[in-house]
Amino acid sequence: MYKLIDGKAHSARLRGEIKLRAEKFTEKSGRKIGLAVVLVGDNPASQVYVRNKIKACEETGIKSFANFLPESATQAQVEELVKSLVNDANVDGILVQLPLPAHLDEKAIMSLIPVEKDVDGFSEQNMGRLCLNEKCLVACTPNGVMQMLRAEGIEIRGKNAVVIGRSNIVGKPMAMLLLNADATVTVCHSKTANLKEICRSADILVAAIGRAKFVTADMVKDGAVVVDVGINRNSEGKLCGDVDFEDVKCRCSYITPVPGGVGPMTITMLLYNTVCAAERSL
Ligand code: NAD
């Protein structure tokens, strides 16, 4: 019988801890922890993400600074805004919602965020530190996966972990985190040969592909832990993951559902990173 990893419950528990830490920070510093969010343009998905992040801040006692610029904003305007947030002592974390409109130089803008305020963990310095297994702010989604694995008491050391997907925001940092936790890690991607066999060797299988129901039972070893990062829509417009949940579940020891698995942890880890950034500034 498989165990469902309840991302909502893990997220709620962690948000409780974050709230307490935020209160302690205010007692010590006399100010609230601050997270600045920058949204350029009117991408509807980005607007939803930003709204959810602001709401989550309010619920945990973190002050949010919402900065909205129009689609037509120039490179200079966005850079000026980010620089002002970098110099603002009330801002502990800066999040620039991606993707930025195509006319903007994303890399140049992101490089303005100093490592200590990079709560998305996407900067070269934070990614580099992660590779070196040094203290850093870790990308939220893979860090959320690690939090859940640890909280469930799932052994990682010495296990075969397979990550499907090599993106800079999920697959690569996920692989690094598992490696740093002493797993033997294989990273698969769209050009991988023998994907099925490699997946079948996994004690821990993480799917971060972006293809609905891609992982089927014949790709899963008996007793595997299956983590589904994917967020897709099926033909009826319903949310579904990269894993064919109904097909795979009986093979697993643990499995994350979609929705209600990895998703709820992502924003929570953003709050977590913001609290860590603030505490380090004291
Ligand atoms: P991406 O498109 O940047 O990367 C997808 C990866 O999948 C690539 O590395 C590619 O090589 C690999 N891939 C594609 N087709 C493949 C195939 N046929 N076989 C093997 N590998 C294949 O996507 P991403 O940003 O890493 O996101 C992946 C998924 O996770 C998406 O569904 C995204 O919506 C979701 N996501 C969820 C959260 C969350 O909070 N739960 C956060 C970020 C991303």
pLDDT tens digits along 74-99: 999 999 999 999 999 999 999 999 99
Q: Which ligand 1 atom sits closest to the C-alpha of 210?
A: 32
Active site residues: 53, 97, 120
| Per-residue pLDDT, 72 | 97
Q: Which ligand 1 atom sits closest to the C-alpha of 242?
A: 32
User: How remote is the CA of residue 87 from the centroid of ligand 1, in Å?
Assistant: 34
| Per-residue pLDDT, 176 | 98
Residues ≥6 apart with Cβ < 8 Å to 84? none
Q: Which two tokens stand for residue 197?
A: 């066999």
Q: Which ligand 1 atom sits closest to the C-alpha of 261?
A: 41
Q: Which residue puts its alpha carbon closest to atom 1 of ligand 1?
A: 167
User: How remote is the CA of residue 258 from the centroid of ligand 1, in Å?
Assistant: 14
Segment 239-269, tens digit of pLDDT: 999 999 999 999 999 999 999 999 999 999 9
What pTM did the predictor assign?
0.97
DSSP code for 215:
B
Residues ≥6 apart with Cβ < 8 Å to 251? 2, 217, 220, 221, 222, 223, 224
Cβ–Cβ under 8 Å, residues 49 and 169:
no
Q: Which residue puts its alpha carbon closest to atom 41 of ligand 1?
A: 263
Distance CA 73, CA 65 (A): 18
Q: Which residue puts its alpha carbon closest to atom 39 of ligand 1?
A: 263
Q: Which ligand 1 atom sits closest to the C-alpha of 265?
A: 40
User: How remote is the CA of residue 206 from the centroid of ligand 1, in Å?
Assistant: 11
Residue 124 pLDDT more than 90?
Answer: yes
User: How remote is the CA of residue 243 from the centroid of ligand 1, in Å?
Assistant: 12
Q: What's the whole-number mean pLDDT along residues 14-34?
A: 98
Task: Give percent of the chain above pLDDT 70.
Answer: 100
User: How remote is the CA of residue 33 from the centroid of ligand 1, in Å?
Assistant: 32
Residues ≥6 apart with Cβ < 8 Å to 62? 18, 22, 32, 33, 34, 35, 271, 274, 275
Mean pLDDT of the chain: 97
Segment 215-226, tens digit of pLDDT: 999 999 999 999
Q: What are phi and psi of 220, to 5 degrees?
A: -120, 130
Give the strands of the sheet with 3-4, arranged side by side.
Answer: 3-4, 252-255, 224-228, 204-207, 160-164, 184-188
Q: Which amino acid is at 85?
A: L
Choosing from 53, 229, 267 the residue with most ligand 1 atoms within 8 A of its CB, the one to mutate for a pocket test is: 229
Residue 235 pLDDT more than 90?
Answer: no
User: Which residues surround ligand 1 with Cβ inside 6 Å?
Assistant: 141, 164-167, 169-171, 188-190, 192, 195, 208-211, 229-232, 262-263, 266
Residue 30 pLDDT more than 90?
Answer: yes
Distance CA 177, CA 43 (A): 31
Q: Which residue puts its alpha carbon closest to atom 42 of ligand 1?
A: 141
CA-angle at 264, arms to 124 and 255, nearest 5°: 100
